[in-house]
Amino acid sequence: MECTSSVYLPTFHMGSSIFLWLFLIFSVIFSPVSAKHSVTWTYGVNYGRIANNLPQPESVVTLLKAAKINHIRIYDADHGVLQAFKGSGIEIIIGLPNEYLKEISIGEDRAMNWVQENVQAFLPDTRIRGIAVGNEILGGTTIELWEVLLPAAKNVYSALYRLGLQHTVEVSSPHSEAVFANSFPPSACIFRPDVAPFMKPLLEFFSQIGSPFYINAYPFLAYKNDPQHIDINYALFKDNRGIYDAKTKLHYDNMFEAQVDAAYAALDKAGFNKMQVIVSETGWASRGDPDEAGANVKNARTYNRNLRKLLAKKKGTPFRPKMVIKAYVFALFNENLKPGPTSERNFGLFKPDGSIAYDVGFTGLVPSAAPPSILVSFKEIAGQGWLRWSYLLVSTAWAVVLL
């Protein structure tokens, strides 16, 4: 489907403190993001945009740089977004929306047109590193899409191959937990019998081209659906008794790693024990309907802060200790136009003005309580141009030093 370790600088009286403010803003805007395609990253964020109150993509780039978030997923291939990320160094997985799968599956020429218009046209300056072909197709209710997923993925890859981009842009397809028949204990996890005939050939193809298995893993949803039998501390990475998997003799002290290892177990049984699992979505809602257990700011803060700490260790799971866990948090912003229960609109890490929704340990963000005369808003920067603001910040900074 989510900071006050953010640099807190209260209102000080004079010179050096103002200079510190200006230095922070300047360094945030112009700090480079590594251009290297890193294999050691562990933390990314989903940038959904089903809302009418979000900042412009140019401002989002500023926000991501401030938070030092270098990997994102979007759910389409919006040209305004891709243009805004040009030169940022931030690596992006774009989405081929579900509604395009039938058309793309028909022939390679249609896939070629899509890839040329939405990928090749923006490379290399916009660092597109993957295409998610559909989202949560298998296990979903639209059965006709199950049949076209693999042909669509093959045609997209074929287009990339013909353009010489197959080593630059990965092809994948994220799945929900609905593809599994069961996931407890983790070692017992298998693919649903009705899903398996579609999943296995898809996995064979992804294995051939070196793509990982992407899963949307939400301890929040599991807890929400069964709060009477699931320990909230187990879901939130807090102290708890955990669970013991008798078959593997492994102990789990948090549900997130258990969900990842359940996916590994299902892959093992399907014959793909070398395929990596990457979590394409995970998060916790900060607000929900009365019947949505656990959806509150305190739990969202706890889950996302502890998840970030776990990922920062760059370690594997109990079942796959040498496979570093990687995950994309859902989501960058609350999306006020998303349908469904209240929780669907309240997964955001940040508010539309760029301030943190709650503290999960990010640094480098300008606090929302800062003096308006000192702060430079993301909107102003994006609207009036980087060069003008860089000149203003440097000039003002030197003026303050001379004071």
pLDDT at 255: 98
Per the domain annotation, does 307 fall within a domain? Answer: yes
Per the domain annotation, does 399 fall within a domain? Answer: no
Per the domain annotation, does 33 fall within a domain? Answer: no
Question: What does residue 363 show for φ and ψ, rounded to 5 degrees?
Answer: -120, 160
Quote helix, strand, coil % in the chain, to nearest 5.
Answer: 40, 15, 45
Structurally, the chain folds into a number of domains equal to 1
pLDDT at 386: 40
Per the domain annotation, does 289 fall within a domain? Answer: yes
pLDDT at 81: 98
Q: What is the CATH number of the domain that holds 90?
A: 3.20.20.80
**Residues 40-62, mean pLDDT to the nearest whole number:** 95
pLDDT at 367: 52
Q: Give 383's pLDDT tier (boundaries 50, 70, 90).
A: very low
Per the domain annotation, does 214 fall within a domain? Answer: yes
Spatial separation of the C-alpha atoms in residues 160 and 390, rounded to whole Å: 38
Quick one: which H or E segment has residue 113? helix 108-118
pLDDT at 211: 98
Q: Which tens digits make up the pLDDT trace of 64-120?
A: 999 999 999 999 999 999 999 999 999 999 999 999 999 999 989 999 999 999 999
pLDDT at 363: 55
Distances (CA, A) of 284 to 78, 271, 348, 351: 26, 32, 9, 15
Q: Which tens digits make up the pLDDT trace of 228-270?
A: 999 999 999 999 999 999 999 999 999 999 999 999 999 999 9
Q: Which tens digits make up the pLDDT trace of 322-356?
A: 999 999 999 999 999 999 999 999 999 998 888 88
Q: Which position among 2, 58, 91, 136 bears the catalytic label?
A: 136
Q: Which tens digits make up the pLDDT trace of 15-48?
A: 433 433 343 344 444 444 433 344 579 999 999 9
User: Comparing 2-11, 151-160, 245-254, 343-352, which segment has the lowest mean pLDDT?
Assistant: 2-11
Per the domain annotation, does 260 fall within a domain? Answer: yes
**Residues 118-130, mean pLDDT to the nearest whole number:** 98
pLDDT at 39: 54
**Residues 174-179, mean pLDDT to the nearest whole number:** 98
User: Do strands 327-330 and 43-46 pair parallel, antiparallel, or not at all (unpaired)?
Assistant: parallel
Q: Which tens digits make up the pLDDT trace of 186-238?
A: 999 999 999 999 999 999 999 999 999 999 999 999 999 999 999 999 999 99
Per the domain annotation, does 167 fall within a domain? Answer: yes
Question: What does residue 274 show for φ and ψ, rounded to 5 degrees?
Answer: -105, 0
Is 281 one of the annotated active-site residues of the chain?
yes
Distances (CA, A) of 385 to 12, 122, 271, 380: 28, 21, 53, 8
pTM strictly above 0.85: no
Q: Which tens digits make up the pLDDT trace of 298-327?
A: 999 999 999 999 999 999 999 999 999 999
User: Do strands 277-282 and 250-252 pair parallel, antiparallel, or not at all (unpaired)?
Assistant: unpaired
Spatial separation of the C-alpha atoms in residues 343 and 256, rounded to whole Å: 19
Domain extent for 213:
43-350
For residue 376, is pLDDT > 80? no
What is the secondary structure of 205-265 as a DSSP string?
HHHHHT--EEEE--HHHHHHH-TTTS-HHHHTT-S---EEETTTTEEESSHHHHHHHHHHH
**Residues 49-65, mean pLDDT to the nearest whole number:** 95
Q: Which position among 91, 170, 281, 292 bears the catalytic label?
A: 281
For residue 377, is pLDDT > 70? no
pLDDT at 350: 92
Cβ contacts of 75 within 8 Å, gap of 6 or more: 46, 48, 49, 95, 97, 132, 135
Is 91 one of the annotated active-site residues of the chain?
no
Question: What does residue 280 show for φ and ψ, rounded to 5 degrees?
Answer: -85, -20
For residue 1, is pLDDT > 90? no
**Residues 141-160, mean pLDDT to the nearest whole number:** 97
For residue 393, is pLDDT > 80? no
Spatial separation of the C-alpha atoms in residues 2 and 356, rounded to whole Å: 10
Per the domain annotation, does 119 fall within a domain? Answer: yes
For residue 123, is pLDDT > 70? yes
Closest CA to 163 of 206, 218, 116, 201: 116
Q: Which residue has the tokens 């079942």?
A: 319
